[in-house]
Amino acid sequence: MADIALQLYVLALSTTLTLAMPVIVGVAFTGVAASLIQTIFGIQDQNIAFAPKIAVVALLLVGFGTRALAAILHIFTAALASVPHLVG
């Protein structure tokens, strides 16, 4: 019983990291690029860095949305399939 729960936990954690990393890395690189551009041109406005980050998140979610949904459905079906083993 604990082995099945541990497997589900590891599957959920690895899937969460796999789905979150492209968004986190994309936003980080976009933030660094926006900061460099602001520094080069001497722009002090913080709102300028916000719009490209939102655009990158939207593009990544559109690009990886189908894969993310498939991964979440895989975890959900694995969790539902293991309920009888966890209860009994």
pLDDT surpasses 70 at 1: no
Three-state secondary structure readout of 20-82: HHHHHHHHHHHHHHHHHHHHHHCCCCCHHHHHHHHHHHHHHHHHHHHHHHHHHHHHHHHHHHH
pLDDT surpasses 70 at 68: yes
Mind listing the pLDDT tens digit for each residue in 15-57? 999 999 999 999 999 999 999 999 999 988 888 889 999 999 9
Mean pLDDT throughout 2-14? 90
